[in-house]
Structure 1
Amino acid sequence: MSSTPDLKITHDQHVTLVEICRPPHNFFDFELIQQIANTFEALDQNPQCRAIVLASQGTAFCAGANFNSPDDKISRPENPGTNPLYFEAIRIFSCRKPIVAAIQGAAVGGGLGLALVADFRVTCPEARFTANFNRLGFHPGFGLSVTLPRLVGIQKANLLFFTGRRIGGQEALDMGLADVLVAQSDVRAEALKLAHEIAVSAPLSVQSTRATLRQGLVPQLQQAVAHESAEQNWQFKTEDFKEGVKAMTERRPPQFQAR
């Protein structure tokens, strides 16, 4: 396992730093999510790795998918079934090693879904968390219909989904979306510190405890992404979705027509 132009892998004792290298926004596509899945599966087989830190370069942790890209395959899936990107997401969720995410900036849409793969999130007041799918005119994805209410409760998840509002690091901490709040310059160091603290514990016991606490999560996510994909597939064809993406690009409130 080695670094790629999009993903930098660094080992420090029993902690591995996996760094997304698509600054400044770190938009994802199928290939990036697949690379993360491949890396996590390899780390599962590496006995020297006891904890993973997922971080990114640039100003955003991950601003989600770039729907304005000519190579966008997320909103234009080739087949009507489950989006292949979500199969790769399930592979990431299946990782057995504990994961700490370093959220130094925006975690938007599917980028928020990627942040919620982690067991813990270290963030800062400047960070922004948003599940802005409905603001763009389509159903949430990346398993967020399971992971977000699991973390913050159904009412707060409803609020974040229906409004698409952005919340800062302090509010994320208060509602349970984040676990540690530090200065922006200290986010990565604090995430690595937490991962090293986890790595001191007996690795077999940590993995066993984690598996117990996450029991049933992956099968639930498999069902969820199938449903999310079905809803997204028809909504991607609506005028509202076109308007949502256009409004985001033009930085104005969308004018939806329910069609």
Structure 2
Amino acid sequence: MEYEEILYDVDDGIATVKFNRPHAMNAGTVQTYRELEDAFRRAGEDKAVRVVVLTGEGRGFCSGDDVNQIFLAEPDNSDEARSRRLLEQIDDLRSHRRNWLDTAIMECPKPTIAAVNGAAVGYGCDIALMCDMRLGSDQARMGEFFVRRGLCPSLGGLMILPSIIGVARAYELVLTGRMVEAEELGAIGMVNRVVPHDSLMDESYKLAREIAAQSPLGQMMAKEGIRMGLNYDYDRIADYQNATVRLLSQTADHREGAQAFVERREPNFEGR
């Protein structure tokens, strides 16, 4: 696959994957997520890759779904076939994202590091959480914004976040949708540590090289063992999340949340 919305490079055993839509704060489209899935599977299968580092081009990590394409997409009567394909892809994204992208990230056999260089919100926050480790710059910000759009988090927010920061804190962040600034990210453990912004990639590659120097077979078994130890009911949570997204994406509250974001105003939710 040729990449248009991400960057992919392998050097000295480290695969660097970058969101590459800086003009949109790296908001993800259907194409972005398909390319990201391919990159993680490619890195997982490449014997030359020992570690994957995920980050964003420009000022942000990933600002979540591209609202105009994914949430507010409308049929384009000038090109009905193209419009139909896009709407089908969006429906698949809403209903079965776990079946391809979440799985590609969480089941990647190589150690994964998210280098959070700026805002990581909504699904961008969950993508960072689904990586094995996170380093945050002092400009990093993360937020489970889903309730602001009338939606429910993905696996990162429902499954990984509570195991990292505790259930009570996870409830607070998920149910308020508030932004968490860099200092708090480090204090509550949403990132492994916070480093100066200009040092983020150096520190991320330093960690990646330290990991890459160890036994890949031992690491692969250790990753799987840690997941087993956490006792995630992966399929059940994924099925629940898929069902909630399909249901919530059809509600007036979701439409209001997405429209309010585009219009830069506070949403008026009515519970319908």
TM-score (norm 2): 0.86
User: Equivalent residue for 2:57?
Assistant: 57
1:29-108 to structure 2, matched below 5 A, reads 29-69=29-69, 70=73, 77=91, 83-88=95-100, 89-108=102-121
Write the distance in 2 (CA, Å) between the matches of 1:38 and 1:121.
21
For structure 1, the residue ranges without an aligned partner over 5 or more in a row are: none
For structure 2, the residue ranges without an aligned partner over 5 or more in a row are: 75-85
Write the distance in 1 (CA, Å) between the matches of 2:235 and 2:27.
23
CA spacing shift, 1:68–1:187, aligned 2, 3 Å: same
Alpha-carbon distance, 1:125 to partner:
2.4
CA spacing shift, 1:78–1:61, aligned 2, 3 Å: closer
Q: Which has the higher helix share?
A: 2
TM-score (norm 1): 0.90
Write the distance in 2 (CA, Å) between the matches of 1:67 and 1:217.
33
Check conservation: 2:117, 2:137, Cα contact below 8 A: yes
User: Equivalent residue for 2:80?
Assistant: none
CA spacing shift, 1:74–1:141, aligned 2, 3 Å: farther
Alpha-carbon distance, 1:227 to partner:
0.7
User: Equivalent residue for 2:78?
Assistant: none
Check conservation: 1:143, 1:221, Cα contact below 8 A: no
**Residue of 164, 170, 173 corresponding to 1:157:** 170
How many residues align? The count is 256
Check conservation: 1:26, 1:61, Cα contact below 8 A: yes
In the TM superposition, structure 1's runs of 4+ consecutive aligned residues that sit over 4 Å from their partners are 71-76, 216-219
Which amino acid is the alignment partner of residue 21 of structure 1? Answer: N
Instruction: Give the 3-state SS of the residue equivalent to 1:48 in structure 2.
Output: coil
CA spacing shift, 1:75–1:217, aligned 2, 3 Å: farther
1:221-253 CA-to-partner distances (Å, cap 9, x unmatched) read: 332222112112222222211211122222222
Write the distance in 2 (CA, Å) between the matches of 1:35 and 1:178.
25
User: Equivalent residue for 1:256?
Assistant: 269
Alpha-carbon distance, 1:154 to partner:
0.8
Write the distance in 1 (CA, Å) between the matches of 2:255 and 2:65.
15
Instruction: Give the 3-state SS of the residue equivalent to 1:215 in structure 2.
Output: helix
Compute the RMSD of aligned alpha carbons.
2.3
1:99-142 CA-to-partner distances (Å, cap 9, x unmatched) read: 11110111111101110121111112221100011121122224
Say yes or no: does 1:214 pair with 2:227.
yes
Alpha-carbon distance, 1:92 to partner:
2.1
1:30-86 CA-to-partner distances (Å, cap 9, x unmatched) read: 33222222222222222221111111102110001012223775996269xx72322
